[in-house]
Amino acid sequence: MVHDQRFSPGDDLAVLVEGALADTPAAWNALVTRLERVVWKAVNMMTYDADIRDDAFAATWLRLAERLDTIREPQKLPGWLATTATNEVRQLLRQRGRLPIGLPDGGADSSGGGLGSLLDTLPGADGDHEHALIAAEDAQRVRTAFRRLDDGCRQVITVLVLTDPPLAYDQASELLGRPIGSLGPTRMRCLEKMRTLLEHEGDAG
């Protein structure tokens, strides 16, 4: 029986979802532990307001609890959570009429998380994603540039770059409602926009 089964964050997502649906606390706790970094990376990219960040994190898990029985493909949960977390931050910012001020002083992803992952993926002038890293370590500038992107680019970068691990293109295509053939070029264009925004901010400084 599911209630007698032991669960670990390393278990298959389908197993963890099944256990959580059977109201097994250990399964839900393992599921949160497995995917909490995905949620933190998404909210940290959207805001450095600690209150909004924490509230969005909690709200994202509430949304999952409410809709867990609708999940048909558990392997797509990372992308779903990242997108949901991004939307929760945006909604909270609108509701409270607040703009993030100040940098975070720590937290679940104080090492930088999504910021480092995004910087490592931004293309240089030659488009080399492996070695041409952007020399912009200022987390505030990266977040500002990310928020200046249009909604479509933020969604693509969240799902294809910040989700840990990034979703496969077929999964991302279904989640985003975009043709699979458009995702690669769109990802490149959005990352190039990020690079340009960072360069402009650097020139202005």
Per-residue pLDDT tens over the stretch 91-128: 888 777 654 433 233 333 333 334 445 544 454 434 44
Residue 141 CB coordination number (10 Å): 16
Q: Give me the CATH topology for the region 1-99.
A: Rna Polymerase Sigma Factor; Chain: A (1.10.1740)
Q: Tell me what the mean pLDDT of segment 193-205 comes to.
A: 73
Architecture of domain 113-205: Orthogonal Bundle (1.10)
Per-residue pLDDT tens over the stretch 138-166: 566 777 788 888 888 888 888 887 776 66
**pLDDT > 80? residue 189:** yes
At 103 the pLDDT is 29
- Does 1-99 match 113-205 in CATH topology? no
Q: How far apart are CA 84 and CA 107, in angstroms?
A: 20
Domain residue ranges of the chain, discontinuous segments joined by +: 1-99, 113-205
Per-residue pLDDT tens over the stretch 19-70: 999 989 999 999 999 998 888 888 877 776 778 888 989 999 999 999 999 9
